Amino acid sequence: MVNLEEVLELVKKGYTNPKEIAKTLNLAVEEVEGMMRILESLGYIERVKLGSSLCRSCPLRKLCSGECIHFRGQIYLIFKKEVSK
């Protein structure tokens, strides 16, 4: 059974959306989305808000040419908080 720590580890490795994580862990996307909502509510990850301020909050803004691809999913970033065991 997959736990929150496994999902968090994939986010740390650069997996950015629930579909990627679900495929990697062989889970339903809805299951991963639920786990990510829990991690977000606990303060371990933060959802990147899409909209007019997208470029200011984008972690790739320093590498970007300024022409955004409009992603219609959700991207998450990791905080520097460690999981308690």
pLDDT per residue rounded down to tens, the chain (85 residues)? 788 999 988 888 878 778 889 999 999 999 999 998 898 888 888 776 555 466 666 776 666 655 444 444 566 666 666 666 5
DSSP secondary-structure letter at 66? S
Question: What is the distance between the alpha carbons of residues 72 and 60, in angstroms, rounded to a whole number?
Answer: 17
Domain extent for 9 = 4-78
For position 70, what pLDDT does the model report? 41
User: Residue 84 domain-assigned?
Assistant: no
The pTM of this model reads 0.62
Residue 55 within any structural domain of the chain: yes
Whether 53 maps to a domain, the answer reads yes
CATH code, domain with 61: 1.10.10.10
Q: What is the dihedral of CA 2, 5, 7, 12, to 10 degrees?
A: -150
Does 83 map to a domain?
Answer: no
**Number of domains composing the chain:** 1
Cβ neighbours, 10 Å, residue 27:
19
Own/partner contacts of 36-42, CB < 8 Å, gap of 24 or more, are 36/7, 36/11, 36/74, 36/76, 38/4, 39/4, 39/7, 39/8, 39/11, 39/76, 40/76
